[in-house]
Amino acid sequence: MGSYAYFRKQIVPLEEAKVSIMTHAFNYGTGCFEGIRGNWNAEHEQIYIFRLREHYERLKRSAQILRIDIDESVDELCDITADVVRRCGFAQDVYIRPIAYKSAEVINLRITGVPSEVAIFVAPFPNYLPGEGVRCGTSSWRRVHDTAIPGRAKVTGIYVNSALAHAEVEENGYDEAILLTHEGNVSEGPGENIFLISSGQMVTPSPAEGILMGITRATVMELAREELGISTIERQVPRSELYSCEECFMTGTAAHLTPVLEIDHRVIGDGHPGPITHRLQNLYLDVIRGKSERYRDWCTAVSPAVVEA
């Protein structure tokens, strides 16, 4: 069974979903996207798509900022996505990429009134970062300021910033980067939000630090509050606080909840995932695979299409 995509308002084989090199979004980065996880539950023989509606609500907000018109409603996008995932037939974890983009084949910086399209594709996707923990380095590249490119929108072009930061620290022997604001405070990872257990409190950079308002971030904050009785403090985090915290972890659709074991050659805690990190990681992984009845409404269950012999 081949893979499929939603392209130009119909579901087609993936190899038919092509755009021209003249496409506005290809030339100028005028697109916005979501990364959505579909998590395979072998016992149920289903893929559980996590917080599908919330992702499309955020895509709509990103599109509004970028003046991209999306004809499809949130409900329609959810239904289309479930259909594409079902048709692809993957019996494993998948990554779903919806992208709304300026589709005109024109060389012009104007975005107002320029035609737009939505495309959705699915691909198998194992762990993005090692689940047992990562070593992070602070990047010399600073998080793009909201007055340059709006950080609340998942704009395709802004991820050049993320790619440069990740490449820099990877070449220096680290697994992932941490970006600072132009003022030198902690912002986020290239594709992750960051949390600290600092002086016994769970802390994360506030929205004012140019972060993407992560759906996994919000999920983990709710799980910490409802399941562990721990509230999260959103505030400014100085870089030096990273080095003295008791625990640290990153969250994101691709990264799930990943412990941070070392930052800039400084070991965090005892060099192993801390107790709060460990409990939250286990809770989160159960929730996204549909194993928690209490949070089952966060998951959209899809049974892969059966290939007939």
How many CA atoms does the CB half-sphere of 245 hold within 13 Å? 27
183 touches 87 (CB < 8 A) = no
The tens digit of pLDDT for each residue in 204-219 reads 999 999 999 999 999 9
pLDDT value at residue 178: 98
Angle 35-41-43 from CA coordinates, rounded to 5°:
175
Q: Phi and psi dihedrals of 178, rounded to 5?
A: -125, 125
DSSP secondary-structure letter at 122?
A: E
How far is C-alpha 100 from the geometric centre of its chain's CA atoms? 16
The pair phi, psi for residue 224, each rounded to 5°, is -60, -40
Residue 216 has φ and ψ, to the nearest 5°, of -65, -40
The answer to whether the beta carbons of residues 250 and 177 sit under 8 Å apart is no
Q: Per-10-residue mean pLDDT for the chain, 309 residues long?
A: 90 97 97 98 96 98 97 98 97 97 96 96 90 95 94 94 98 98 97 96 96 97 98 98 97 97 97 97 97 96 75
Per-residue pLDDT of 45-73, as tens digits, reads: 999 999 999 999 999 999 999 999 999 99
CA angle 231/294/56 to nearest 5° reads 80
Among all residues, which ones are annotated catalytic?
Answer: 154
Q: What is the DSSP letter of 223?
A: H
Quote the CA–CA distance of 298 and 178 in Å, as a whole number.
29
Q: Which of 105, 182, 104, 103 is nearest to 139 (CA)?
A: 182
pLDDT for residue 131: 81
pLDDT at 129: 85
For the chain, list the domains and their CATH numbers: 4-124 (3.30.470.10), 134-273 (3.20.10.10)
What confidence tens digit (pLDDT) does each residue in 165-194 have?
999 999 999 999 999 999 999 999 999 999
